[in-house]
Amino acid sequence: MDTYLLAATDYPLLNIFWTMLELFLWILWFFLLFKIITDIFRSHDLSGWGKAGWLVLVIILPLIGVLAYLIARGNSMGKRDVAQAQQTEAAFKAYIRDAATTGPTGGGSHADELAKLADLKEKGAISDEEYQKAKDKILS
């Protein structure tokens, strides 16, 4: 039991902080590496050979490759991120707008369709039987 307590106190608090800092830096490094690799594949202004060259450089010599990529293409990397975010937001807004205008049946909400049917019935354009059949079809 004494050896267990001795082993637990043998690792000072400063070493714990240092280990946590190293772990954080490793996670940060892998995040940056994956971010750059995805940017290489997402870039439309690079040819296939250019993408292969950057990928080889980033994988074979990671520290030099990542720093060189950030220096050479860091500004355009940020612009591509902004363009991707704007494109995603525009697609999301278009989807919401389309879903709001078409409703569940594709031609408007149930309430709108029922109001149109009631208006047609009041004008005498459809009979009571036709109104009831159309209403049942909408509500089913």
Q: What is the pLDDT of residues 48-102, one digit of tens each?
A: 999 999 999 999 998 999 999 999 998 889 898 898 889 989 888 888 877 766 6
Please list, residue by residue across 46-73, b when 16 or more beta carbons sit within 10 angstroms of its beta carbon and e when fewer do.
beeeeeeebbebbeeeeeebbeebeeeb
Q: Do residues 26 and 62 share a domain? A: yes
Query: Same domain for 55 and 9?
Result: yes
Q: Is there a single domain that holds both residue 133 and residue 79?
A: no
Q: Give me the domain span that covers residue 74.
A: 2-102
| 136, two tokens | 């049942």
Kindly tell me if the per-residue pLDDT of 7 is higher than 80: no
Residue 52 shares a structural domain with residue 35:
yes
Q: Place 106 in a pLDDT band, splitting at 50, 70 and 90.
A: low
In the chain, the percentage of residues whose pLDDT exceeds 70 is 86
User: Quick one: 69 and 91 in the same domain?
Assistant: yes
- How high does pLDDT run on average in the chain? 84
pLDDT band for 11, please (50, 70, 90 cuts).
Answer: confident
Helices (H), the chain: 2-9, 13-42, 48-60, 62-102, 110-123, 128-139
Both 88 and 51 in one domain: the answer is yes
Domain count within the chain: 2
- Say if residue 109 is in the same domain as residue 55: no
Same domain, 50 and 79: yes
Residues 35 and 64 in one domain: yes
26 in the same domain as 71: yes
Residues 55 and 78 in one domain: yes
- The gap from C-alpha 60 to its chain's centroid, in whole angstroms, comes to 29
Kindly state whether residues 70 and 90 are assigned to the same domain: yes
